[in-house]
Amino acid sequence: MEIISQNKCSSLGMLFGAIALIMGIFHFSFGPFSAPSPTLESVVAEKVSAVKKGIIAGLKGEKPAAAPAESRAVDTDKILDNSGIALAVIALICAFIGGMRKENRWSVSGALIFGGGTLAFHALLFGIGLVLGVILLILIFSFLTGGGSPV
């Protein structure tokens, strides 16, 4: 317990970094938690229906009903991602402060590893998604243009 009391900043950084890394891995493994967004067809159908009701109400001489205010649902996925990144940045700041205060090298290194590992994990996932998206686009264009077919 003395080690934690002597290395407060870096120990706090290790805690925040570990929480952020666990949150990121949990969200990646078991997510997404938010409801899927509505399809384009359903959104267009709702808008067309609202226009139709407005036109019919206008032809009858009635006042068209006001559109109900849409309340946005809380996006759990964005909250988890942003809070994990924020905790990782706080862990890195705590590691920096702990290093400046000449705290135990192992504690500072742990905070750096957990905070940096979380940010690297998010960057790796983004990079993999970007590369796979580009490969998918190239495959679609190749298929549509008939590239690669020996004719």
| pLDDT, tens digit, 9 for 90 and up, residues 45-101 | 988 988 888 888 888 888 877 766 677 778 899 999 999 999 999 999 999 999 999
**How far is residue 71's CA from residue 48's CA, in Å, rounded to a whole number?**
20
Burial zone of 96 (CB within 10 Å; 0-12 exposed, 13-18 middle, 19+ buried): middle
pLDDT, one tens digit per residue, over 25-50 is 999 999 888 888 788 898 899 889 88
CA dihedral 49, 52, 58, 59 (to 10 degrees): -150
- Record the pTM: 0.74
Using alpha carbons, select from 119, 98, 88 the residue that is nearest to residue 15.
Answer: 88
Helices (H), ranges, the chain:
2-6, 8-30, 40-60, 76-100, 105-145
Taking the domains of the chain in order of start, what are their residue ranges? 2-67+75-145
